[in-house]
Amino acid sequence: MQPSSAARGATRLAFDAVEQLTRVVEAMHANIAATSLPFGAGTDGRTRGLTGFVYDSIRFVNAGVRAALDHGLGLLPAGSVREDRPEHLLSVLNGVIGDHLAATGNPLAIPMRLRQDGGAGRRPLLLIHGLCMNDGDWLRNGHDHGAALARDLGVTPVYLHYNTGLHVSENGRELAGRLEALLASWPVPDPELSILGHSLGGLVARSACHFALEAGHVWPARLRRVVFLGTPHHGAPLERGGSFLEMLLGASPYTAPIGRLGMLRSAGITDLRHGNVRDEDWQGRDRFERSGDRRTPTPLPAGVECHAFAGTRDGLVPADSALGRHRDPARALDVPEAQCWVGPGRGHFDLLDDPEVYARLRAIMMPAAPH
């Protein structure tokens, strides 16, 4: 079973349980209100008047939230991750509540690690996966950008595995330190680093660059290029939609407890509202507060070749966000137009195995001709 199907099935069961529980509680309420006797025939299980309105409101909200989540999970297509790897469920769990797992010392929290298969060459390529995914999910429908580039161009793929439920800045800071250690011990002199980030992974890459420069690390001088695949540089509508739904639920004291369920979503998810990459983008603020974009503008790393890919059928990340475009010039990332690509008919996960995407990646990663 694909994780998208498993997640949809699990959420449907959860909302079915809410519906059934509501029926039981309402029936008990109706029977207690109808008679003071502990025995005898009960009512039809429905309350009337204001009380009935409250239970109907719960059902209405439950159905609405269920439909919204089912639609969102349905955007994860079949084949988005591998079927034969059970850790995808752990990756989804970390993406949804990974910050809580880490804060409570839960052993289910995924620790950050770097995986390198085979020997080391002069051209390491760091691949950073997206939300609710893991380092093995670069393999989709038999294709892995890292493995293919290793075969065709001799790059050395290094795969990052991390807890996507943590704040982007927390992952970025830790990654910056790990890259400093990795390149300091790299067995080949003068390595030339490239980074390929999918979705949330692109934000983590930008965050790592920021913290590395702040800490005076050496590795940014080795960074030649960063390629962003469907990265929500300026946010994702699905997170903003979830925040709006939470606001609607909180408008009534009868539905507010259900609205609090939305506060279970991780820091990594709420960072996607606007595309946070720095500590100051979220520190000292209620991350569930419905406010405008208060990010500190964070430009792309200077002197690094950057490319951005988007898909016209990406239901998760709009093209302008993926390409770093913004109406505020201070927030626009200014990726050169020649280094932006929008794939007609491509979805968010198509960027992981689309042949044209790979052909363009191959051309980008082609070693420069000797002078």
Compute the half-sphere exposure of residue 123: CA atoms within 13 Å on the CB side of its CA.
16
pLDDT value of residue 315 = 85
In sequence order, the 6+-apart residues with CB closer than 8 A to the CB of 84 are: none
Pairing of strands 113-116, 223-229: unpaired
Strand arrangement, sheet containing 193-198 = 113-116, 156-161, 124-128, 193-198, 223-229, 305-311, 340-343
Residue 6 pLDDT grade (very low, low, confident, very high; cuts 50, 70, 90):
very low
Helix (H) or strand (E) holding 306: strand 305-311
First to last CA, the chain: 52
The per-residue pLDDT for range 301-317, each reduced to its tens digit, is 999 999 999 999 998 89
Is the pLDDT reported for residue 48 higher than 70? no
Q: What pLDDT, in 10s, does the model give residues 94-112?
A: 888 889 889 888 778 899 9
pLDDT band per the 50, 70, 90 thresholds, residue 356: very high
Specify the pLDDT at position 83. 42
pLDDT for the residue numbered 7:
54
Flag whether pLDDT at 44 surpasses 70: no
The strand pairing partners of 310, in sequence order, are 342
CA distance 6 to 304: 40
d(CA 28, CA 189): 74
What is the arithmetic mean of pLDDT over 64-90? 58
- pLDDT above 90 covers what percent of the chain? 55
Mean pLDDT for the stretch of residues 319-344: 96
Helix axes 3-34, 87-103, angle to 10 degrees: 60
Alpha helices in the chain (DSSP H): 3-34, 49-74, 87-103, 145-153, 168-184, 200-215, 237-249, 256-259, 267-270, 319-322, 355-365
* 197-211: b (≥16 Cβ within 10 Å) or e: bbbbbbbbbbbbbbb
* Structural domain spans, the chain: 3-74, 87-234+294-365
pLDDT-based confidence at residue 51 (cuts at 50, 70, 90): low
The DSSP bridge partners found for residue 308 are: 228, 340
d(CA 90, CA 187): 33
Question: Which pLDDT value is given to residue 332?
Answer: 96
Neighbours of 78 (CB within 10 A): 11
Q: What is the mean pLDDT of the chain?
A: 81
Write out pLDDT tens, residues 112-162.
999 998 889 999 999 999 998 999 999 999 999 999 999 999 999 999 999
Smallest CA-to-CA distance from 300 within 271, 332, 268 is with: 332
The pTM assigned to this predicted structure is 0.75
The CATH homologous superfamily for domain 87-234+294-365 is Alpha/Beta hydrolase fold, catalytic domain (3.40.50.1820)
pLDDT higher than threshold 50 for residue 354 = yes
Measured CA to CA in angstroms, residue 62 lies from 20, 93, 243 at distances of 11, 22, 16
Residues 188-230 pLDDT 10s: 999 999 999 999 999 999 999 999 999 999 999 999 999 999 9
DSSP string, 186-228: -SSSS--EEEEEETHHHHHHHHHHHHHHHHT-SGGGGEEEEEE
pLDDT bracket for residue 285 (50, 70, 90) = confident
- Looking at residue 221, its pLDDT comes to 97
**Per this entry, what is the length of the chain?**
371
Q: For 239-279, what is each residue's pLDDT tens digit?
A: 554 444 444 444 444 334 444 445 567 899 999 989 999 99
